[in-house]
Structures are given as structure tokens and as C-alpha cells.
């Protein structure tokens, strides 16, 4: 529809203003979208608030059935959704298919929670009294999502929020609005009632800020930059909103001397240059033991030079474009920073092509652990190779960044693998695999500047989108004062025996 979706209707921004959605590989304008402001956001929030009470009372298994139908439609339309995603975001088609598949998996997984929404039953310390704990929806949820996974990440937020009984206002990134429209159309077709799910397009600075600060919003679930997340956290604190933040990463692959270097090579190439390095889990550091550094680089540099850049719809393409011109300029600026810091540019380091926002896969060697390119998130196809004398030093280097999302270690030594699992302080750790590849039934998130402690995915996602309610039922027929009631005495009784 390429419009906002408010109260069950597809509508333009109230001012009529629009912004273009541009193909980053060709610079072709694909569509015009509503450039919404606070008035549009308020209308969406009010629609969500009006729908909340009836939706929270709608049986959870029936909410799950709607999501099952949405999952079926996503699966049925996977190829067309993936192709449209490649057009608007740039990632190669195989990766776009994976993005849609993750949304399918998450939708089916969360739909099953409609028949669980697991609570707790606990014994009471008093006689003739029952105790149990249930989940309540929070209210109106703001879901603000990034452009790098325009179908998967929204599914991480929308599906658990909806199955738990919340109503939602969804603001996708302005670089990838068409995937968001397609996802909302599918949920509408699957049977989501009017007002339960609303979609508002626009910039983060205007529409996103208006949504995050709206007094009726009870929870903001945000994935994006650490800077934006910090501001949302401060804004939410003023209104005592619940805020769930999934932010940046400075992820590392540790390669020990005993590693299978060919296996490590494949993991590095996929983790560093998949999605053109535009993943929060992208490997932007390779920490390698001294004796393995030269043989690893002898493999890594020529393989990197062989990667083929181009339109993600072409079967020969290995690496697509960056999302926009500003992102390419930011990546190139970091290459200049690395050179100024004294790192050696081993390959890449320049924009590529006459059309589109491409950047060469880039490798720096001889990088200091405290260098800016080793500490700051670049969000592009740039990796820093950092030597280490031992596993202890490698783990220390890995942990010493402002972020803590994902780490990988390659080793054949099971003892070293388990020491790394114990000592690495990131939220996700892989052994003999790359830094990317979340599975929907497991928690996903990080430490330090990567977020504020919440996790997406798995049953832990329900903790973000629900409130715990503790319920007591006293059927004793008399007033019982917990902790003050006189306890039954067992003095003088015969000890219990088992026949």
C-alpha cells in the first residue's frame, strides 16, 4: 500500500508529505512513503490505545492462530518478499531469503506461545491458600526497527508483543519501508483486528522521537545505534516507560594457533562481509595468535579480493551495496582514521563502481587493540586484524570494548573452547562458527553498550512484552496473616515414616 496503517486503514501523512525509498544498488526511486510527524504518530497511538482492551481479552490461543496464518502467508510469499527486500536494502538475494525465513520461523514459534504464555504455580506457606503467577500485556508498545534486517527484526518485536495481548505502533527505518508495509499487509490479511497493529513511516528524529516520547506508550522496543538507544533510554526514564534496547556491537573472531584455518577463513568472510558488514553481529575484529597470523592472512587477503560486488539480485554477486551514500561516507571516513592511526591497509579501502553505494571489502592489519577502528562500530565491510600472544590475551582484547554482543573462537582444543565460553563476556558466543546466525528459540542480546539487559528471541522475549501478576486465593474462610500466622506445631508428634 506504501502508506501509513492506522486504525485498520491505509492513509497518507496528514500533511501529504512524502519521502523516497531508493534502491542502494541502482539509485532508482522505488516508491514514495508518508513522511509522518507527531500528529500522525498520535493518531496511531490513539488507535492502538482504543483497541488494546478488547485485544488483551481476546483469547491468547486465538491470537496465536492469527499469527499461524501470518506465518503461512509469509512462507507462501517468501520469494517475492525477498526480492523486494534486496531492491530496497541491497543485501544479496540469498541473504534476503534468509531474512524472510527468520521472520517465518519467529512467527510460527511465537504463535505457539498463544497456547502456553507460561506462568508459574507455587505452594503457599499457609494452609488452604493457592498461589500462582500469570502474565499480563503491558499496553501500547512502540516497535522501532532498523533497516539491515527489515523483516526479521520486526518479527522479533511484533509477534511476541501481539501474542501477549499488547497493541502496537510500528515505525520501521525510512530506508526499508516496503518490507514493513508487506509485513503489516500480511498480518492484516491474517486477521489482526483494526487498531491492534499500526504502521507509521518517517524519520527517527521526528516520527521516532514522537513515538518514543508519547505519554500513552508503555514500552519502547528499539533496535539501532547506541547513540539513539541512549537517548530513548533517557526519554523513557522520565515517564517510567519500559525500554528494551538492542544496540551496537564490535564483535570479534578469535583464531588460535591450533584452529582449522580454512574453516576459520570461511567464518571470517561470511561474518565480516555478509550484508556488506551491516549487521550488529558482524565480525569487525579478527584476533589471531601470532603463529597463525601469517598463514591466516595468506588465505584471507586473496579470498577477500575475489569477492564480487554488485546488485544483490544478480546470482554472481557476493557483496551488495551499503544502504545509502551517508553510510558509505562514514565507512570511508573510518578507513582514513585507521590509516592515520598507523594500521596497515592490506586490501580494499575505497568506494567502488559508478552507480550505487558500494564499498570494497577492506582489511587492516597490525591494528592496536585500543585503536578507534578496533573499538568503534564501523557498520561496513571493514575488519581489523589484531595479533595476540595467547588465548588469555585474545579473550582480554575481545572483552575490552564498549560493546558485548557476539564473539567467535576457532580452536580444536576442547579445554580452550570451554575456557573461552567461561571468560568471554558477550551475550552470544560461538565455537568454530562465525559471529552471526541467531536462532529464534534462543535468547539474543548483549552486554555493556550493546543494550540494557533485555533479550529478544526465545521465551525470554515474553518477559519484555508482559508484566508478571502474582495471584493469591485464600479459601480458608478466615483471615490469615502471612509471616504473622501461627504455624502448625510438630512438637511431640511421631516422626513420619514410610512403610
Just list the catalytic residues. Answer: 246, 280
Cα gap 223→143, rounded to integer Å: 9
The whole-angstrom separation of Cα 349 and Cα 336 is: 9
* Distance in angstroms (rounded) separating the CA atoms of residues 366 and 490: 73
Cα-to-chain-centroid distance, residue 137:
21
- β partners of residue 359: 351
* Residue 89 CA: distances (Å) to CA of 32, 68, 364: 15, 27, 27
Q: Which residue has the cell 501478576?
A: 469
Return the number of other C-beta atoms located less than 10 Å from residue 382's C-beta.
25
The DSSP 8-state label assigned to residue 113 in this structure reads G
- Confirm if 157 and 459 have CB atoms less than 8 A apart: no
d(CA 336, CA 95): 29
Contacts of 496 (CB under 8 A, 6+ apart): none
Residue 358 near residue 393, CB atoms below 8 Å:
no
| CB 44, CB 200: distance < 8 Å | yes
Amino acid at each position: 500500500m506504501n502508506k501509513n496503517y492506522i486504525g485498520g486503514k491505509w492513509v497518507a501523512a496528514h500533511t501529504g508529505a512524502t519521502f523516497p525509498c531508493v534502491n542502494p544498488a541502482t539509485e532508482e526511486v522505488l516508491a514514495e512513503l508518508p513522511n509522518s510527524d507527531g500528529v500522525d504518530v498520535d493518531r496511531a497511538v490513539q488507535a492502538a490505545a482504543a483497541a488494546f482492551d478488547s485485544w488483551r481479552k481476546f483469547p491468547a490461543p486465538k491470537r496465536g492462530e492469527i499469527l499461524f496464518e501470518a506465518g503461512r502467508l509469509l512462507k507462501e510469499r517468501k520469494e517475492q518478499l525477498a526480492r523486494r527486500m534486496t531492491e530496497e536494502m541491497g543485501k544479496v538475494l540469498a541473504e534476503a531469503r534468509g531474512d524472510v525465513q527468520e521472520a517465518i520461523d519467529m512467527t510460527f514459534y511465537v504463535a505457539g506461545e498463544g497456547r502456553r504464555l507460561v506462568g508459574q504455580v507455587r505452594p503457599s506457606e499457609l494452609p488452604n491458600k493457592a498461589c500462582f503467577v500469570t502474565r499480563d500485556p503491558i499496553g501500547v508498545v512502540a516497535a522501532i526497527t532498523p533497516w539491515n534486517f527489515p523483516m526479521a527484526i520486526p518479527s522479533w518485536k511484533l509477534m511476541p508483543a501481539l501474542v501477549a495481548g499488547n497493541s502496537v505502533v510500528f515505525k520501521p527505518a525510512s530506508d526499508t519501508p516496503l518490507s514493513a508495509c508487506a509485513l503489516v499487509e500480511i498480518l492484516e490479511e491474517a486477521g489482526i483486528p483494526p487498531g491492534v497493529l499500526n504502521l507509521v513511516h518517517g524519520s527517527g528524529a521526528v516520527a521516532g522521537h514522537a513515538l518514543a516520547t508519547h505519554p500513552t506508550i508503555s514500552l519502547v522496543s528499539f533496535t539501532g545505534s547506541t547513540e539513539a538507544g541512549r537517548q530513548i533510554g533517557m526519554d523513557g526514564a522520565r515517564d517510567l516507560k519500559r525500554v528494551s534496547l538492542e544496540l551496537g556491537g564490535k564483535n570479534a573472531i578469535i583464531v588460535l594457533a591450533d584452529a582449522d584455518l580454512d574453516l576459520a577463513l570461511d567464518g571470517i568472510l561470511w561474518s565480516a562481509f555478509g550484508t556488506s558488514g551491516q549487521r550488529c553481529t558482524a565480525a569487525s575484529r579478527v584476533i589471531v595468535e601470532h603463529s597463525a597470523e601469517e598463514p591466516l592472512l595468506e588465505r584471507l587477503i586473496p579470498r577477500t579480493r575475489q569477492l564480487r560486488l554488485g546488485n544483490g539480485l544478480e546470482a554472481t554477486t557476493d557483496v551488495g551495496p551499503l544502504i545509502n551514500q551517508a553510510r558509505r561516507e562514514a565507512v570511508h571516513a573510518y578507513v582514513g582514521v585507521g590509516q592515520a592511526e598507523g594500521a596497515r591497509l592490506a586490501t580494499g579501502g575505497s568506494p567502488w563502481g559508478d552507480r550505487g553505494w558500494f564499498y570494497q571489502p577492506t582489511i587492516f592489519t597490525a591494528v592496536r587493540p585500543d585503536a578507534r577502528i578496533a573499538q568503534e562500530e564501523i557498520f561496513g565491510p571493514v575488519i581489523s586484524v589484531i595479533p595476540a600472544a595467547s588465548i588469555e590475551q585474545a579473550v582480554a582484547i575481545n572483552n575490552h570494548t564498549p560493546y558485548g554482543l557476539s564473539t567467535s573462537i576457532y580452536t580444536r582444543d576442547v579445554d580452550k573452547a570451554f575456557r573461552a565460553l567461561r571468560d568471554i563476556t558477550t551475550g552470544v558466543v560461538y565455537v568454530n562458527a562465525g559471529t552471526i546466525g541467531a536462532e529464534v528459540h534462543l535468547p539474543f542480546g548483549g552486554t555493556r553498550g550493546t543494550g540494557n539487559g533485555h533479550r529478544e528471541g526465545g521465551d525470554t522475549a515474553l518477559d519484555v512484552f508482559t508484566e508478571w501478576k502474582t495471584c493469591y486465593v485464600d479459601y480458608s474462610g478466615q483471615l490469615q496473616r502471612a509471616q504473622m500466622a501461627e504455624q502448625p506445631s510438630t512438637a511431640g508428634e511421631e516422626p513420619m515414616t514410610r512403610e
